[in-house]
Amino acid sequence: MSMFNVFSIAGSALTAQSQRLNVVASNLANADSATSSTGQPYRAKQVVFSAVPLQAAGATGVKVTSVIEDPSPMKQVYDPKNPLADSKGYVSMPNVNVVEEMVNMISASRSYQTNVDMMNTAKTLLLKTLALGQ
């Protein structure tokens, strides 16, 4: 039954998109964390999606293969009163771009909704197939 595969495909996409949403949430929450458990400022994280073939022929799901750290330089903020300031009075702040993260969040939630819609359609079709001949 190919129609059941729609559930596993959309399910894999839901997992991937919600992981993306989690990463965005942690980036936004730590947009001002000048220090972390490593002693370094927080680095923005991004998910990497890749297509994975499922067991059935022609079915391709999606998976988060890795979470990478944004290599762009830290924001330098002049704040000599801060205990973390260097000798010139600059503090390294996280390289989180709040606007980019908001856009990423909206994109993830739209994709999530589309996949939920897809699951609902597949459910309707399967229920109608079950009622065949009645």
Partner 1 sequence: MSSVNNFFEDALNLRAHRQQMLASNIANADTPNYKAVDVDFASVLKGAQSARGVLPMDTSASAHIKGHAGGPLNAAEMYRVPSQASIDGNTVDTNVEMAQFTDNAIHYQAVLSFLNAEVQMRKSAIQGQ
Site residues (vs partner 1, CB under 8 A)? 1-3, 5-6, 9-10, 12-13, 17, 20, 49-51, 56-62, 107, 111, 114-115, 117-118, 121-122, 124-125, 128-129, 132-133
Q: Is the CB of 12 or the CB of 42 nearer to partner 1?
A: 12
CA separation for the pair 32, 35 (Å, rounded): 9
Nearer Cβ to partner 1 (36/60): 60
Minimum CB separation from partner 1 for residue 110, in Å?
A: 8
Instruction: Dig out the tokens for 43 from the structure.
Output: 């680095």
Pick between residue 17 and residue 95 the one whose CB is nearest to partner 1. 17
> What single string gives the DSSP state of each residue in 14-52?
HHHHHHHHHHHHHHHHTTT----TTSSPP--EEEEEEEE
At 81, list the tokens: 């009163």
Strand 45-53 with 60-69, pairing: antiparallel
Within 13 Å and on the Cβ side, how many CA atoms surround 63? 9
Q: How far is the CB of 102 from partner 1 (least distance, A)?
A: 16
Name which of 25 and 51 has its Cβ closer to partner 1: 51
Q: Least CB distance from residue 130 to partner 1, whole Å?
A: 10
